[in-house]
Structure 1
Amino acid sequence: MAKIDADIGSFLWNIFPFAVGLSLIYVFRRNIHSSIKSRRSRLFAWILNRFTTKVNKILRKEKENAFRYLECHREKLGHSLFVLEIGAGPASNFDYYPRGTEIVCLDPNPYFESYVEQNAHKHENIRLSRVVQGFAEEMGDLEDSSFDAVVSTLVMCSVRDPRKALDEVKRVLKPGGIFIFVEHVAAREGSFVNKIQQMMNPVWKTLCDGCNLTRNTASYIKNTGFSDVDIVNFHLKWGFRFLTYFIRPSIYGCAVKGTST
């Protein structure tokens, strides 16, 4: 009996540190999860801020073409534009805006704000109005019909609900306002690339902060109820072609909110 008691005591003593550790994790699990999420968001902002120079080189022609819609809209209105950029990240698009543009930058990651402000100081062609922390699907703090244009570049692949995000885009646009976009999209259904995208998507979404390889963004835009939609298909020309083959299908274009909407 004494031996059994001793064995039980020894077992309890050995598992005591493990039990304490599990208890602490259980008690502080929310703080631990919050800390991990915060560090991940900070790291993602740091990486993306350094990667944007390369992205701009790769997409320069397509971004220039897309932002010409803004220049034409400015000429049509006869005044400087008030623009919302959703998923602005570190604000890598400031190079492309027409001179005098006033910009509100929206992004859910709070660690982009310092990068946005740094980049704004380098660009005399624009004026940064403010940085808003929030999701494209939930822009309730932004007033209806308040922006001349909304800009999205490589964002719609990552929003949680593209229908809701586009409805919000349309809501905050002034009648006659424009939504311009540059996005990578799902390849043609049934194609070899599309099959690769379907296979890679779960891993890709985990590694790339929710980026979705199989999203048919063009279809979502067309079905949002814009009065006019212009979409141009192209293929991204990344340096590492084998590694990025499945994200090459892309679009850019412009959608117009009707004046009677």
Structure 2
Amino acid sequence: MEENEGNNMAEGSRDSQADGEKMMKSWFSDNLISIIIVLALFWLIKKIVFGTQRRWFSYVMHLCTKDEFVQLEEVKKDHFASLSTIVSQDPQLRKQKVIKILEIGVGTGVNFPHYPDGSHLVVVDPNPHFQSYFDANRKKFPNIHSEGIIVTTGDKMEMISDNSVDVVVMTLVLCSVDNIDEVLREILRVLAPGGKYYFMEHIAEFDLKKHWLRRKLQDAFSWLWSFIFDGCRLNCDVLPNIQRAGFSSVDAQKYYAPVPSVIFDLERPNLKGIAVK
């Protein structure tokens, strides 16, 4: 009797499962057109959003940087002041008393004011939509010999020769890089012996006793920030990568940067320094 009851329960379960599968197939069959339309709409929205992301990101950065923020520019001025003391490894440039600078992630060209007169500037950026803003900006600095943007990422700079630049500059870029270590290897490759890498990056909050809430918010909103600002991560710490990259020396300082708006308070923790090949 117990065996019959068990068989009946098993058969009931199979029947119930079969009925469920029939209902599911029927639902899919009845709503197939609606499902296809919804999936097509999701695909179209994704295509539009991600297909135009770099275009509107370049415009957002243009809006954020078109007006000079004096306090931040003073920090940059101090950091880049030693550029004027560098002697080029290139004999021809050395005769002219100028240097060759490679800027990775040049964006709209906000660092032009801090480069010494006569500098030969090579720039790379993966976003081609920065070109018009960059061109408009470099016209204001005829004292800098600048080229158009080479559209590539910092880890794929094969077009730039080994040991060919005196200085590499990156400001607020490593936060958006997929492979930080590979970018640093490329920097070491293109730098001339004794060449210098100037960096300024926003990083994860480093004083967790005073600003633990900021760190929590960085972690919580990093995904959204990354979407809005083309891959920028709020909670990354790039100093360990720089320290182990193979530079002969790394002089770095963590500090709190002045920011132009409370909106950017999560980017206040910063890192600046100079690494020597």
Q: How many residues in Structure 1 have an aligned counterpart in Structure 2?
A: 243
Shift of 1:249: 0.8
Q: Does 1:220 align with 2:241?
A: yes
- Please identify, of 231-240 and 166-175, the stretch whose mean Cα deviation from structure 2 is larger: 231-240
Q: Which residue of 1 aligns with 2:202?
A: 184
Shift of 1:238: 2.1
TM-score for the superposition, normalised by structure 2:
0.77
Secondary structure in 1 aligned to 2:141?
coil
Alpha-carbon distance in 2 for matches of 1:179, 1:103:
14
Shift of 1:125: 2.0
Q: Which residue of 1 aligns with 2:100?
A: 82
Q: Which residue of 2 aligns with 1:234?
A: 255
Q: Which residue of 1 aligns with 2:56?
A: 43
Contact 2:204 2:218 in 1 (8 A): yes
Residue segments in structure 2 that go unaligned for 5+ positions in a row: 1-26
Secondary structure in 2 aligned to 1:131?
coil
Instruction: Please point out which of 136, 146, 162 is paired with 2:164.
Output: 146
Contact 1:120 1:127 in 2 (8 A): no
Alpha-carbon distance in 2 for matches of 1:169, 1:56:
29
Quick one: which amino acid aligns to residue 252 of structure 1?
Answer: K
Instruction: Please point out which of 206, 218, 229 is paired with 1:208.
Output: 229
Alpha-carbon distance in 1 for matches of 2:247, 2:54:
33
Alpha-carbon distance in 2 for matches of 1:126, 1:144:
23
Contact 2:135 2:148 in 1 (8 A): no
Query: Which runs of structure 2 are paired with 1:21-100 in the superposition (5 Å)?
Result: 21=37, 35-54=48-67, 56-74=69-87, 79-100=97-118
Runs of 4+ in 1 over 6 A off after TM superposition: 14-17, 22-26
Alpha-carbon distance in 2 for matches of 1:185, 1:19:
43
Alpha-carbon distance in 2 for matches of 1:66, 1:249:
16
Shift of 1:58: 4.1
Instruction: Please point out which of 264, 268, 276 is paired with 1:248.
Output: 268
Cα RMSD after superposing both structures: 2.8
Alpha-carbon distance in 2 for matches of 1:220, 1:174:
20
Shift of 1:209: 1.4
- Please identify, of 59-68 and 15-24, the stretch whose mean Cα deviation from structure 2 is larger: 15-24
Shift of 1:136: 1.0
Secondary structure in 1 aligned to 2:258?
coil
Query: Which runs of structure 2 are paired with 1:125-144 in the superposition (5 Å)?
Result: 125-144=143-162
Q: CA 1:87–1:32 in structure 2 vs 1: closer, same or farther (change >3 Å)?
A: same
Alpha-carbon distance in 2 for matches of 1:186, 1:50:
25
Alpha-carbon distance in 2 for matches of 1:140, 1:158:
20
Quick one: which amino acid aligns to residue 63 of structure 1?
Answer: K
Q: Which has the larger radius of gyration?
A: 2
Contact 1:146 1:173 in 2 (8 A): yes
Identify the structure with the greater strand proportion: 1
Q: Which residue of 2 aligns with 1:169?
A: 187
Residue segments in structure 1 that go unaligned for 5+ positions in a row: 1-10
Alpha-carbon distance in 2 for matches of 1:205, 1:221:
22
Q: Does 1:122 align with 2:135?
A: no
- Sequence identity percentage: 30
Alpha-carbon distance in 2 for matches of 1:100, 1:217:
31
